[in-house]
Amino acid sequence: MLKNWKFHSASSILFGNGAIHQLPNLIERFKPKRIVLITDPGIVKAGIANRATEILRDVGIKLVVYDQAVPEPTMASVLTCFSQLEEYQPDLLIALGGGSCIDLCKMISLLLTYGGHPADYFGEAKIPGSIRPIIAIPTTAGTGSEVSPVTIVTDEQTNLKVGISDQSLRPAVALLDPELTVKLPPYITACTGMDALSQAIESYFAIDYRYIEAEGNLIYQGSNPMSDVFAEKAIRLISENLSTAVHQGSNLAARSNMLLGNLYSALAFTNSGTSLIHALSYPIAEITKKPHGEIIGLLLPYVMEYNMFADVDRFSEIGIFLGERGEGKYNLAKAGIEFVSRLVDDLGMPTRLEMIGIKREHFDLIVEKSLGIDRLIRINPKKPQFEGVKSLLNKAF
């Protein structure tokens, strides 16, 4: 059991329209000799990478651009990137893109600093110390990787997503510029937004830190007073703005609120943790290859219902944060779950597992793998059991 809670974030956070133009001032703080910008082809095509390189050109420091980051990074993609940057030895890394791009940047910084293979660091708190500084610039309002202590990679040997979790992985600077998210396509906006909403909800219904059945210096430590504050703000902001951001992509006010809601969500869940929803999403993703946020959005109402009776007070409060009104905690909790279901449907996202290619014969393997992800399972308010989780999947089918 834990007796204390802690709160961590990126070393500094810069938020606002046009914030990317502050890059030269931020870079000056680190006195680098060599900089690498890690991004992906989509960001290049959208012209966002060019905006960044034009700003960086005025800095007068040697810059190398790696623009081949891929969605859901695999071990092979990590090693390919590392092989191209190892000789250059940058002392400052800039990640420009979605969560996958930022995750890749974290792994490259880790390998440049300490060498070895990513598998050497799988698990929690296995990194010797600080890594080379990262300025993370998200172009999606979703994963929260810009302030997160976690990086995820697909291990081809086990065909499963695995995580490296360590406080030293939090970027030195999180730079959030809502203007960079305006060109995000509607469906990616929906998927990343549902991921952020789920992370906030999971943070709020996470088991109280005092009742976590684990000891030591945990990355995910359960709900605590500070994570609760950010989770509530995130749930309210995201639920009020996600549909507008999807259907009115140029609405900068909605985009700004989504990016701020994503930040609040990340500040919450990167301290409290995520739960059974994310644990189930990883083995499902290895079967379907669907976007992470699509799977998360599908699972969210079903796992909320699965957990509801373990903490009706919390779930009724979540219902209120989602804008529901009514008498009785049970009714509010149910109303919140129904709101999430309606939102997923409004965004045009799948609502049943069969819609994303999952078959009933996959259930045993999904449950077995998800229950093995202890850092997430121990956060869940209802202790997951094999048959109960399998029944949950049947309801979602």
Q: Which two tokens stand for residue 20?
A: 């990317």
CA distance 123 to 242: 33
Q: Does the structure show a pLDDT above 90 at 275? A: yes
Does the pLDDT of residue 10 top 90, yes or no? no
Calpha distance 340→345 (Å, rounded): 9
* Whole-number pLDDT of residue 162: 82
Q: Find where tokens 């509530």 sit.
A: 232
How far is residue 298's CA from residue 279's CA, in Å, rounded to a whole number? Answer: 14
Per-residue pLDDT averaged across 70-99, rounded?
Answer: 93
Whole-number average pLDDT of the chain: 94
**Tell me, what's the pLDDT at 123?**
85
Full strand arrangement of the beta sheet holding 34-38: 12-15, 173-176, 134-138, 92-97, 34-38, 62-66
Of 206, 207, 395, nearest in space to 301 by CA? 395
- Among 2-11, 35-44, 252-261, the minimum mean pLDDT is found in 2-11
248 against 60, higher pLDDT = 248
pLDDT tens column, 328-337: 999 999 999 9
pLDDT in tens, 180-228: 999 899 999 999 999 999 999 999 999 999 999 887 788 899 999 999 9
pLDDT-based confidence at residue 6 (cuts at 50, 70, 90) = confident
Residue range 12-181, CATH number: 3.40.50.1970
Write down the pLDDT at residue 183: 84
Instruction: Output phi, psi for 175, to 5 deg.
Output: -110, 115
E strands, the chain, in order: 12-15, 34-38, 62-66, 92-97, 123-124, 134-138, 150-155, 160-165, 173-176
d(CA 235, CA 320): 10
Per-residue pLDDT band for 277 (boundaries 50, 70, 90) equals: very high
Q: How far is CA 231 from the centre of its chain?
A: 14
Domain regions of the chain by residue span: 12-181, 186-396
DSSP for 65-111? Answer: EE----SS-BHHHHHHHHHHHTTT--SEEEEEESHHHHHHHHHHHHH
| Greater model confidence, 110 or 219 | 110
Q: How far apart are CA 176 and CA 339, in angstroms?
A: 28
- What is the dotted CATH code of the domain comprising 186-396? 1.20.1090.10
Q: What is the DSSP code (8-state) at residue 208?
A: B
213 exposed, middle or buried (CB, 10 Å; 0-12, 13-18, 19+)?
A: exposed
* Residues 283-323: tens digit of each pLDDT: 999 899 899 999 999 999 999 999 999 999 999 999 999 99
DSSP calls for 122-135: -EES---SPPPPEE
Distance CA 269, CA 205 (A): 11
Q: Is the pLDDT of residue 360 over 90?
A: yes
Q: Is the pTM of this model over 0.85?
A: yes
Tell which residue, 126, 121, 147, 120, has the closest CA to residue 136.
147
Confidence band for 72, pLDDT divided at 50, 70 and 90: confident
d(CA 62, CA 34): 5
- pLDDT tens digits, residue range 138-172? 999 988 999 999 998 888 777 777 889 999 999 99
Tokens representing 378? 């121990």
Q: Above 80 in pLDDT, residue 105?
A: yes
What span, in angstroms and rounded, lies between the C-alpha atoms of 241 and 253?
9
Cα distance between residue 313 and residue 333, in whole Å: 8
